[in-house]
Copies of this chain bind each other. A is one copy, B any other.
Amino acid sequence: MSLPTARDVLQAARRLAPWVHRTPVMRSRTLDQMLRAQVFFKCESFQRSGSFKYRGASNAVLQLSADQRARGVVAHSSGNHAQALALAARKAGLACTIVMPRGSVRIKRQAVEGYGARIILCENTLAAREAVAEQVVARTGATLIHPYDHPQVVAGQGTAVLELWEEVGPLELVLVPVGGGGLAAGTALALEHLAAGSVPLVGVEPEVADDARRSLEQGTLLPSSYPATIADGLRTSLGRIPFAILRRHRVPILTVSEEAIREATQWVWSRLKVVVEPSAAVPVAALLQRKVSVEGKRIGVILTGGNVDCSRWWSG
């Protein structure tokens, strides 16, 4: 298993600079006063494809050989990685196939199709998704781009905190949500470069999907099985590469309740006026619930994405 390094994150930042949006940073005076801290929100909802996943997917796509480019890319995902890879592939002029479970939300299928990718539907299990993706690889020679267990993807995700730091100056604490762990691992590598590991990174998970916390505490990967959290982007289990990096950096993991995630999502919408999906609000929940000591600190939070079905609002 080849682990990416801080240097890979720096190289990714140079590679991605003309390719990704430099997303805006938002603040809330109310929150800063309440916490007696300064919180800087890096708003990846405004990233192309609607989430930070475009960074990692693009970083992988841009490093394919001419031969690999000719055969295209494939991924199995029903979430933000699918949209990110579809868009990155289109922009690079590559064919892209996305394997999605039949039960996927229509709006997500439409987004992937809108970016010009081919969709193959499969049964609603991880095994089925992997098997179908492997068939595509065998048949077409396409390169499989894993959503987080991929060194270049992890390195790409680390560029978000680099941009944030560059824009607002040194931070004293960084919070990110943890699903597969690609963002958390990339952020840990970036902070190694920015602050030689002196700036704590805290990962935050839903209580009901706390496989990263358990895995890191017990020193072995303990996958979760289909946890029922509203933070649908964090239902996946920690990957092997992220696990190794988070373990080496001794990244602590906090957990938050479903109710706290709900409140935090609403807080971001109504206060920051940024559309975020519940997964993105998970670190905000940790702040609002005062799960972490922040007083007097300059805190960075990656608001990971905003791909949420907005039509639900009208039915209320």
Contacts of A50 in B (CB 8 A): 273
Question: Are A266 and B24 within 8 A (Cβ)?
Answer: no
The complex places the Cα of A10 from the Cα of B274 at a distance, in Å, of: 30
Tell me how many chains of this kind the complex includes. Answer: 2
Majority SS of interface residues in chain A? Answer: helix
Question: Are B266 and A314 within 8 A (Cβ)?
Answer: yes
Contacts of A46 in B (CB 8 A): 26, 273
The complex places the Cα of A316 from the Cα of B269 at a distance, in Å, of: 16
Question: Are A310 and B270 within 8 A (Cβ)?
Answer: yes
The complex places the Cα of A310 from the Cα of B313 at a distance, in Å, of: 8
Contacts of A24 in B (CB 8 A): 24
The complex places the Cα of A45 from the Cα of B272 at a distance, in Å, of: 9
Q: Nearest chain-B residue to A29 (Cβ)?
A: B48
Q: Tell me the smallest distance from the CB of A291 to a CB of chain B, in Å.
A: 22
Q: How many residues of A contact B (CB 8 A)?
A: 25
Residue of B107, B275, B315 touching A274 (CB-CB under 8 A): B275
Does A306 sit within 8 A of B, measured CB to CB? yes
Q: Tell me the smallest distance from the CB of A7 to a CB of chain B, in Å.
A: 32
Does A198 sit within 8 A of B, measured CB to CB? no
Does A240 sit within 8 A of B, measured CB to CB? no
The complex places the Cα of A308 from the Cα of B276 at a distance, in Å, of: 15
Does A2 sit within 8 A of B, measured CB to CB? no
Question: Are B312 and A273 within 8 A (Cβ)?
Answer: no
The complex places the Cα of A50 from the Cα of B314 at a distance, in Å, of: 21
The complex places the Cα of A45 from the Cα of B310 at a distance, in Å, of: 17
The complex places the Cα of A46 from the Cα of B262 at a distance, in Å, of: 22
Does A311 sit within 8 A of B, measured CB to CB? yes
The complex places the Cα of A84 from the Cα of B123 at a distance, in Å, of: 52
Contacts of A225-280 to chain B: CB distance below 8 A: 262, 266, 269-270, 273-276
The complex places the Cα of A43 from the Cα of B46 at a distance, in Å, of: 13
Question: Are A273 and B270 within 8 A (Cβ)?
Answer: no
Contacts of A275-316 to chain B: CB distance below 8 A: 275-276, 306, 308-316
A-B contacts, 28 listed (Cβ < 8 Å):
A24-B24, A26-B46, A43-B273, A46-B273, A50-B273, A107-B270, A262-B314, A266-B311, A266-B313, A266-B314, A269-B275, A269-B310, A269-B313, A270-B275, A270-B308, A270-B309, A270-B310, A273-B275, A274-B274, A274-B275, A310-B313, A311-B316, A312-B313, A312-B316, A313-B313, A315-B315, A315-B316, A316-B316
**Other A-B pairs, 16, CB within 8 Å; known A262-B314, A266-B313:** A26-B46, A45-B273, A266-B314, A269-B275, A269-B310, A269-B313, A270-B308, A273-B275, A273-B306, A274-B275, A275-B275, A311-B316, A313-B313, A313-B316, A315-B315, A315-B316
By a beta-carbon cutoff of 8 Å, the part of chain A in contact with chain B is: 24, 26, 43, 45-46, 50, 107, 262, 266, 269-270, 273-276, 306, 308-316
